[in-house]
Structure 1
């Protein structure tokens, strides 16, 4: 059989058929190579896991003993308490409406005072049934209508409030000079002053005079009500005696004296002026039988809410603790702690509130003199304790205490160890302030915390 026909037959085969045979050969080669690599990897992994019993025991044993050290520092430890508070006035008074005499209903007809506004003495806080509620400085609320001839602590309070405005003498007797000042007070506010209506019976010489045959007094009527934030009327001494007889009315000089009457419903007293409007609670048209306006007066304070633990830390802080104000109106200045108390409704009492009845307390901090917007946010940092300038700082675990209570640290220097007796001053946040009892401890030295792998070397701490 001749070979030439075979070669011709091979040449006559299509090129695509030859390409497919080449691809199959390449695939087979790749599979063989991958199998070889996989076998080698398996053999290597099995070999790497093979260990003699001695090797396994060595790997399972503890590392060789080594010393764990820390560096002595001369940085002072400061125990801080960080708080956030709000600026507010030291006294707040909530003003409620009372139906004025001669009207059938108590309706809010005007609210000229706006939140955030500063009010001076004689300002109109609200208008009820067409009549003003005037703001004056005083220690206690008005508790009766005043008329010419009246005497008592409430008259003296009114005269003290009118003295810087109209030069009224403080005599304790509501006389013509006081009536004229009341008339001018109303006129400045844009209202007509009430007139006295009692029938004339005898002449009165003036504010200093008091009637010898005073007629029986009338029952005291309530006035522009407050929340009691301005204090209570005096109740002892001459003023107590005056209050007992203050209802007795002297004969009036004139039947129709403008300013001869000051209704309690038309005046409200606050601790000091100027006062700031904190909140306006009512709207024009409301029935004036609830809170109308809340005003703050007196100096500023910063109120911060506390947990029971924070309250305890403030209560027990040393006398040399420092209170610093951070971000806020008083930034960079120092202040003092005014009081600690349970949040209203949660506990009762002030400094000695029952901690079992409240989980929330508040602290009132006194800032330096100066004005700040009511409600402004203020950061407070209380430095409760600070290590002395001559003390050194080490980690808590560096302090070793023996059975007798003596404390020491172990200094590592030039490959040797030596114990140095120390006095523990205080510990805070994992650090301890110490003072060496000799010259053997300095900043930047290394002290031993513990010896790794040596159970016999366990450090003690002094809390």
Structure 2
């Protein structure tokens, strides 16, 4: 059997050899095989892939170039302004009142700063021994506010602050003020004359202090000693008169039971009280008349001593306020702390509000005009009227500050609005708000602009929540009338001839000019009346801008 062997040469030619089956072929030297030939299909695939890749690159480059290159029409379209649109507003029918808007400050008209003092020389230092109130508390008549070094401090109604101790024998309007205050608490002055501190007033004072649970202050040991001395003289005089009267009745020349010897009196000459049995009756009568005269004189002295002795009200104890109840605005101390300057601050009476108009706003604002006050943060609204328009000033609106107490100055701290309060006479100045300010009033700043103060009378008392607030003030320059046709001021157009009109837009977007006559303006609105033959109704849309 023959074996056929084929091979391909490097030139691509096929060689065929035949070997007999029984012939052994001896291996010769090995000839290296040439590399496999690349087929035409592979070459074609590579060519197609290159063409596709080149086409893709060209396409991507074309797209990028297309995004960067714009035609003139495209550039004009991109830079052109957006299509114009109309801004419209509705025509309304409402009451239109001309007004002026400004700001106003709410503050208490008067603040009282209480500076405690010692009621007696026995008190060598002042410490807070009790506090009966805290900030925000309401103080009523007869209420205990504090205790300083064991001395009570209470409030009573009265227009004049306490400026002296009131005691038995005192007279004057301040005594009448005390009597009225005690009577209001149910403690009458009995038969005492108005303005005269007598036994009835002393009894009322005693009852008041007992009601507070406090010891009743008295005029002291000196006046009591004078009373005791006068009482002893009266007792001695009465004994002398009794003895002489008994002798006269017995008709004896000398008293059977002579009166005991009397101590020497420097204010009188010694007089015989013992008579011999041979003493004439006429001499006894003379002695009795002298004794009775002396008794009358000593009884008068006892009355005078008693009239200035007894229960009293030290000025350091009482805080007279024109209006009660009052409100505590500050407490500057704690139990056990030393007292230095103002211990308590109170406000009495309702709140006050002052508007601030810039000079250009004042035209047309007159007393009697209605106003509206609005606290924007709470929504509280209060109505009132203009009471007065003042002259230009830069001082901030503020009430008065009155210092009560100190070293004997009751009202020395009074200061007008915008002025600096004075210190108590003879004492250190109490801590005060700056430049006559009251708690709640805005601080003054140098270089503040000028304004015209407008005094306002509220229709109802201002609520306490408005204290210290800067509120919106609207002055209504005319009374409210009937509703009128109203458009925004921006809707009014004026032509070269001076005629005014509005542009109405119907639901389809069609525009028409409506001639109008303008009227009163307020809050950016104006009343309009269509010209004869023209129509403009509430609900129509008018152009206010483009």
User: Normalising TM by the smaller chain, what interval?
Assistant: 0.5 to 0.7
TM-score norm. by structure 2 comes to 0.54
Q: Is the 8 A contact 2:375 2:469 kept in 1?
A: no
Q: CA deviation at 1:290?
A: 0.5
How far did 1:118 drift?
2.7
Find the counterpart in structure 1 of residue 143 from structure 2. 123
The alignment status of 1:358 with 2:448, answered yes or no, reads yes
Partner of 2:430: none
Equivalent runs, 1:313-462 vs 2, <5 Å? 316=365, 319-323=368-372, 331=380, 334=383, 342-344=396-398, 348=418, 358-359=448-449, 366=458, 368=460, 382=474, 384=476, 388-401=481-494, 408-412=500-504, 420-429=515-524, 431-436=525-530, 438=532, 440-443=534-537, 444-445=539-540, 447=542
Contact map agreement 1:399 1:407 (CA 8 A) in 2? no
- C-alpha spacing 1:291/1:417, structure 2 compared with 1 (3 Å): same
2:115 to 90, 96, 111: 96
> Unaligned regions of 5+ residues in structure 1, if any?
12-17, 204-250, 453-463
How big is each residue's C-alpha offset from its partner over 1:23-42, in whole Å with a ceiling of 9 and x where there is no partner? Answer: x9869845642432432553
Distance, in Å, in 2 between the alignment partners of 1:372 and 1:63 is: 55
CA contact (8 A) 1:421 1:437 kept: yes
Deviation at 1:269, TM superposition (A): 1.2
- Name the CA distance, whole Å, in 2 between partners of 1:202 and 1:75: 88
CA distance in 1, matches of 2:466, 2:158: 21
**CA distance in structure 2 between the aligned counterparts of 1:447 and 1:330, rounded to whole angstroms:** 32
**Partner-residue secondary structure (3-state), 1:74:** strand
Specify the alignment match of 2:92 in structure 1: 73
Q: 2:214 aligns with which of 184, 188, 191?
A: 191
Deviation at 1:147, TM superposition (A): 1.9
Q: Which runs of 5+ in 2 are unaligned?
A: 1-10, 15-32, 232-302, 390-394, 400-416, 420-435, 437-443
In the aligned structure 2, how far is the partner of 1:329 from the partner of 1:446? 35
Residue 282 of structure 1 corresponds to 333
Matching residue within 204, 209, 216 for 1:181: 204
Q: For residues 445 and 210 of structure 2, what CA distance do their matches in structure 1 show?
A: 53
What pairs with 1:220-259 in structure 2 (closer than 5 Å)? 252=304, 254=306, 257-259=309-311
**Per-residue deviation, residues 343-367 of structure 1 (Å, max 9, x unmatched):** 459x9489xxx99963498987747
Range with greater deviation from structure 2 (417-426 or 368-377): 368-377
**Cα deviations across residues 125-147 of structure 1 (Å, max 9, x unaligned)?**
12222111121111121111122
Deviations 1:228-285 (A, max 9, x none): xxxxxxxxxxxxxxxxxxxxxxx746168442x2211111112322333221112334
Match for residue 158 of structure 1?
178
Partner of 1:459: none
Structure 1 segment 10-29 matched on structure 2, within 5 A: 29=52
Whether contact under 8 Å (2:93, 2:484) holds in the other structure is: yes
Deviates more, 1:331-340 or 1:100-109: 331-340
Question: In structure 2, how many angstroms separate the alpha carbons of the residues matched to 1:317 and 1:160?
Answer: 41
Deviation string for 1:7-26 (max 9, x for gaps)? 96669xxxxxx9xx98x986
Residues 365-374 or 432-441, more deviating: 365-374
Query: Is the 8 Å Cα contact of residues 100 and 129 (structure 1) preserved in structure 2?
Result: no
Once residues 27 and 122 of structure 1 are traced to their aligned partners in structure 2, the CA distance between those partners, rounded to angstroms, is: 112
User: Take 1:125 and 1:385, find their aligned partners in 2: how far apart are those partners?
Assistant: 47
TM-aligned CA distance change 1:145 to 1:25, over 3 Å: farther
SS in 1 for 2:92: coil
State whether residues 329 and 376 of structure 1, in contact with CA within 8 Å, keep that contact through their aligned partners in structure 2: no
Q: Is 2:348 the counterpart of 1:297?
A: yes
Q: Is the 8 A contact 1:69 1:449 kept in 2?
A: yes
Supply the RMSD in Å over aligned alpha carbons: 5.4
Note closer, same or farther for the CA distance 1:69–1:330 as it changes in structure 2 (3 Å cut): closer
Structure having the higher Rg: 2
Counterpart-to-counterpart distance in 2, 1:311 and 1:171 = 56
Kindly state the Cα deviation for residue 188 of structure 1 after the two structures are TM-superposed.
Answer: 1.5
Which whole-Å CA distance do the structure 1 matches of 2:445 and 2:518 have between them? Answer: 35
- Shift in CA distance, 148/114, structure 1 to aligned 2, threshold 3 Å: same
| Separation of aligned partners in 1, 2:360 and 2:144 | 40
Residue 133 of structure 2 is aligned to residue 110 of structure 1: no
Q: 1:81 to 1:128 in 2, by over 3 A?
A: same
Name the structure 2 match of 1:206. Answer: none
* SS of match in other structure, 2:112: strand
CA shift in 2, pair 1:107/1:420, >3 Å:
same
Partners of 1:66 and 1:271 in 2: CA distance: 67
1:398: how far off? 3.1
